[in-house]
Amino acid sequence: MDIYLVRHGEAAASWAQAPDPGLSALGREQALAAARALQPRVSAGAVELISSPMARALETAAPLSAELGLAVQVNEAFREIRAPVPLPERQAWLRRFMQQRWDEQPEGLHQWRQQATRQLLALRTPAVVFTHFLVINAVVGQIQGAQGTLCCWPDNGSITHLRRVDEGLELVALGTQMSTVII
């Protein structure tokens, strides 16, 4: 069974500027491109559309939802990581987190990671999940047994292909990776 993790399109504001920004103009174009790329791979009667509750993920899901005539189910398990600091300190916290290992993380972050993976394993039909950079990293890293909090650099609008096999998940293909990486 195929599962596609779509990283949301470019946000209209940065991590430090807004807690829940929508998409920029480029982000809307990326959402349309992702919908066009996914449409031949999925069919309306045999796929679920699932999204993080964050505006940028929901807006990324909208073009495929409209094209297929399917509602988008919101699932908290695919929400971006919650930084345990105030908004002005979020960017610095995220940069530190992205340079760390999972064995350095508190239990709450392990639970966040496990919740996303459990929700993917609970799927019984093919699905497209609209989510975030760190969710994709958490899931792919868990599948690969990676120790670092980052194992890939999914670009905005990228589509990571997973497959549910027996009782586990396998990585079929990473989506388009960012060409410039800044930590």
Q: How high is the mean pLDDT in each 10-residue block of the chain (183 residues)?
A: 97 83 97 97 90 98 96 97 88 93 95 97 97 98 96 97 94 92 56
Neighbours of 159 (CB within 10 A): 20
What pLDDT score does 18 carry? Answer: 80
Q: Is this model's pTM higher than 0.75 or not?
A: yes
Strand, helix or coil for residue 41: helix
Rounded (5°) CA angle 80-60-158: 75
Residue 23's DSSP bridge partners are 11
Residue 183, both tokens: 């930590």
Domains defined for the chain, CATH in brackets: 2-173 (3.40.50.1240)
What pLDDT score does 69 carry? Answer: 95
d(CA 13, CA 22): 8
What pLDDT score does 90 carry? Answer: 87
Neighbours of 148 (CB within 10 A): 12
Task: Collect all residues with Cβ–Cβ distance below 8 Å to 29 and sequence separation of at least 6.
Answer: 9
Q: E strands, the chain, where?
A: 2-7, 48-51, 72-74, 127-131, 159-165, 168-173
What pLDDT score does 45 carry? Answer: 79
